[in-house]
Every structure is written in C-alpha cells, then in structure tokens.
C-alpha cells in the first residue's frame, strides 16, 4: 500500500463507520492514526502508571485488510493498549468477540462495497455501537490531529499483540441460541458471494468447527474467500446479485436459499420457487419466535418495514416500537426499551441475546428452524407474514431535496394524507380509506438522492401511489 499525500479523514469517516477507497483514501498511515485514536476513545489506552486494556480486531477477506489491521494494531499498541487479533471473521463474529470478551472491537470490512473499498466498524465493549455522536466523531478528530501534526504520543509502556481465532466459539454460541438438531431434513443453498459467509456457514451450519452435524444438506455457492468478488458483488440487496442463487435453488430442488453480504452481517432469503422473501416477512417471522420465548416483549422495526410487521407483533401479544432507519438508532432503542429483537428492511436483524447486535447467521438459523419445525414449503410459511405489496427502495437524483420533499408533502396532505416526519417524510392513507397505502421519502445522508418506499394493500394501489410520487419527485405531473 502506498500512503496518500494528504489524508482528510472527513471524507471517509461516515455516520456509522469508516469507509473509503484503499489505499487511495484509507492507507496504513490513516489506519495507524485511527488505531491510536480508537485506543483513547474506546478506553484501552494506557494512562500514567496504569496498563491499557484490550481491543479486539477482526477482518474480512479483502486484499488490503491484513496490512490495515497491522497498522491499526500498531496505533493501539503505541497508545499502551493491548490487541487481540481474531483474524478472518464476519462482522457479527467481531461483535461476538466484543460481547463474549467484554472488550471494544474494530472490524476491517467495507461490507457490500466493491473490491476497491475497505473500512472499519468499531464498537465499545459488549458490542455497543460507535457512530456519530457516540465516539466516532471523537476518533476522527483525534486521528486527524495525529496526522496533521505528524506526532503520535506514545505511552510509557507499549501494548502487546496476540492472535487467537474465535470461529469455533462463535459457532457454538449461535448453536446455543437456536437448536436445529430436531429439524426435518432441509436442502439449503448458501450463496456466500466470496465473502465471509464462506468461512462462517461451514462452521455454524456444518461441521467445520467441530460441532455435530445438523439435518441440513448445504449446497455451497462461491464459498472461496475472494475480496475481488469474481462472481458477483456481495450485495444481495441488488436483485442482479440474487439471480445465481435463485437459479440454484430451483435446479437443486432446495427448500430454501440464503444469500449473505460481504461481511455476512446481513442475510437474504429465497424460497423453494426461487422467489425472494421480503426482509419484512423475515422480521415478522423471527419476531414471533422471540415473542414465544419472551411473551409480551418489545420488538423494534424501522419505519420502512411493512405494516404487516407491527400488526403481527401486536397480534402475538408483543409491543411493536417503530424506529428510524440505521443500526445506531436500532441499537440505541434496543438498549432503551430492552427489546428482544429488531429488524430492518435492509435485512439487518438485531438480537438481545446477541448483545443487541446484528447477525445475519442467527436470523438465518431462526428461519431454518421455523421451516424445519413444520412440513410446508417456505412460500406457504411466509405468506401470512407478507400480505401487502411493496415497491422496494427506489432512488431518484434531485437538485433540491428539501424543496421536492416539501412539494410532495403539500400535494398529499391536500388529499388527506396523514403525515409522519420521524425519518424523512412518511404519508399514510387517510383514516377510513380503502385500500390502505403509505409511502416514505427519505434523503440520502451522502448524495443528492431521495429514497422512496411505498406499500399498498394490493398491487394496483401501491403502483398508483409509487408512480404518482415518482412523477412529482422526478419533475413530472403529480
């Protein structure tokens, strides 16, 4: 990796993590400074006369990850903090390490971004989130000071580094949360997208970690760890990246297909017909399983999830709580409300018994358990959880985000629409109108985009609302 001439951390430190081109924006020099700053902010730096604490570091399969990890670890060590490097892991594997060891952590990954990118997700001890307003700004400011001054104050006693894989312990922990041993035999196609699920799926769903065999016939797709993503991008949110899995499920006569993103903290589900299962349906399904264990508990769902989710939670005796989009909001609400589970439309799923962190593999295990406990097909099982028609997220580039949003609001309020401004603009159908509908229009945090999600009681209603809003957003007639 070749250091850049001028490093401006403001260009790569985002709302929830560090993300940028490597090494053009994120190189060893930047990683070293970020590691030193993280040691201070996350509480592992040595103080006068005191030893430092331990910070856990994991990384994905991207070619630039090992060098960045080494540089970051040196920065922590320079500030007197010890480092435990757990090596290749999924992001939820790093969260497991942080929770299991009660230590802050740093995961080197750019998730679903293309191969040219890398990044860092950080957490406090117990997998508590680090983001804007919860420490990430402090890390950026301090690291920038180190870079600009060319000076990094070293501790009186330098920290140490040790290496220890935790994959087997991670797999055993997930197995302890969902018992799949009594499932009927299932054929499962797993598309790892050359990402970290190629390591974790054989350990959790198979016997690679030394655990007993499960009644699962796993058909592997793209399990070879390759950060250049030679087959398709590891971003199942894009329909094109699901095509191979959909074909394979049908060709193998499988019961279910699972697709993971690059760092395997998200999972997408495909039914036996090769049709995608809505993340909202997965949220509702897992919510009911968690409520069966903890009756009357609180379950979170972000405001883009289908209205079927809070309806199902309420019907099961749970307490649905609606949140803004984004893991920092979900995790903060989980801590505040004591929720047992939370789901997002983007296929992030959060569990109280996993330190409130998101884990795609645990969500996948819940779906496998629900499917394996009964004799029907997955498509029939999820039908009750997905009664409405959704548009999916549609992005539009606009020159005046605020003005366009205000115009849309004025138009739909004049028609009696019910307004909610928790996160962007949500308009729901007037009280008593049938068929019911709603839409949400949110600005991007980083681009001049408006993101539209719409839902209706039937396809015609959703399409009408979707098309009218898009026409106004994109400059057409309302």
Query: Kind and range of the H or E element at 299?
Result: strand 298-302
DSSP bridge pairs for 106 = 57, 122
Report the sign of the C-alpha dihedral through residues 273, 276, 281, 287, in that order. Answer: positive
Query: Kind and range of the H or E element at 321?
Result: strand 319-323
Cα–Cα distance, 369 to 230 (Å, whole number) = 32
**CA-to-CA separations, 459 to 347, 454, 467, in angstroms, rounded:** 22, 11, 12
Residue 216 has phi, psi (to 5 degrees) of: -125, 130
Cα–Cα distance, 316 to 338 (Å, whole number) = 18
| C-beta atoms surrounding 382 within 10 Å | 22
Residue 347, helix vs strand vs coil: coil
Cα–Cα distance, 417 to 242 (Å, whole number) = 36
Q: What is the DSSP string of 13-24?
A: B-SSSEEEETTT
Residue 79 has phi, psi (to 5 degrees) of: -90, 10
Cα–Cα distance, 469 to 475 (Å, whole number) = 10
Cα–Cα distance, 165 to 458 (Å, whole number) = 49
Residue 366: closest CA among 457, 291, 446, 460: 291
Catalytic residue among 98, 111, 306, 346: 111
**CA-to-CA separations, 320 to 180, 300, 316, in angstroms, rounded:** 27, 6, 10
Query: Kind and range of the H or E element at 148?
Result: helix 136-149
Bridge-based pairing of strands 82-88 and 161-163 is: parallel
Asked about 280 being catalytic, the answer comes back as no
Cα–Cα distance, 34 to 150 (Å, whole number) = 13
Query: Kind and range of the H or E element at 221?
Result: strand 216-221
Is residue 139 a contact partner of residue 57, using CB atoms and an 8 Å limit?
A: no
Cis check: omega of the bond before 23, within 30 degrees of 0: yes
Active site residues: 111
């Amino acid at each position: 990796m070749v250091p850049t001439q001028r490093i401006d951390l403001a260009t790569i430190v985002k709302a929830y993590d560090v993300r940028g081109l490597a090494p053009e924006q994120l190189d060893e020099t930047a990683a070293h400074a970020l590691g030193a700053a993280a040691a201070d902010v996350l509480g592992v730096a040595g103080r006068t006369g005191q030893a430092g604490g331990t910070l856990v570091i994991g990384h994905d399969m991207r070619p630039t990850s090992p060098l960045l990890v080494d540089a970051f670890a040196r920065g922590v060590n320079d500030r007197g903090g010890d480092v435990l490097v757990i090596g290749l892991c999924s992001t939820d594997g790093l969260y497991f390490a942080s929770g299991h060891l009660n230590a802050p952590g740093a995961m080197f990954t750019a998730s679903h971004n293309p191969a040219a990118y890398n990044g860092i997700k950080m957490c406090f001890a117990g997998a508590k989130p680090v983001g804007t307003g919860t420490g990430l700004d402090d890390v950026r400011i301090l690291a920038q000071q180190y870079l600009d001054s060319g000076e990094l104050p070293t501790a009186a006693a330098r920290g140490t580094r040790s290496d220890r894989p935790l994959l087997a312990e991670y797999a055993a922990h997930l197995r302890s949360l969902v018992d799949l041993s009594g499932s009927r035999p299932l054929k499962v196609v797993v598309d790892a997208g050359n990402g970290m699920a190629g390591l974790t799926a054989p350990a959790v769903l198979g016997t690679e970690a030394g655990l007993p065999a499960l009644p699962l016939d796993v058909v592997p797709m793209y399990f070879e760890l390759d950060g250049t993503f030679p087959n398709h991008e590891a971003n199942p949110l894009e329909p094109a990246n699901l095509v191979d899995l959909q074909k394979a499920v049908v060709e193998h006569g499988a019961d279910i297909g699972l697709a993971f993103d690059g760092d395997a903290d998200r999972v997408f589900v495909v039914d036996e017909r090769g049709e995608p299962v809505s993340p909202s349906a997965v949220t509702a399904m897992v919510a009911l399983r968690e409520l069966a264990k903890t009756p009357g508990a609180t379950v979170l769902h972000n405001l883009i999830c289908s209205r079927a989710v809070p309806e199902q939670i309420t019907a099961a005796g749970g307490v649905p709580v609606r949140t803004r989009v984004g893991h920092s909001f979900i995790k903060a609400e989980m801590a505040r409300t004591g929720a047992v589970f939370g789901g997002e439309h983007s296929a992030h799923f959060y569990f109280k018994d996993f330190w409130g962190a998101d884990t795609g593999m645990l969500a996948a295990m819940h779906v496998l358990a629900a499917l394996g406990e009964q004799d029907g097909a997955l498509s029939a099982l999820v039908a009750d959880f997905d009664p409405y028609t959704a548009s999916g997220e549609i992005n539009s580039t606009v020159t005046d985000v605020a003005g366009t949003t205000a115009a849309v609001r004025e138009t739909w309020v004049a028609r009696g629409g019910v307004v909610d401004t928790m996160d962007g603009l949500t308009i729901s159908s007037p009280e008593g109108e049938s068929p019911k509908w709603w839409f949400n229009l949110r600005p991007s945090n980083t681009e001049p985009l408006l993101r539209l999600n719409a839902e209706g009681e039937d396809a015609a209603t959703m399409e009408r609302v979707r098309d009218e809003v898009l026409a106004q957003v994109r400059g057409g007639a309302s």
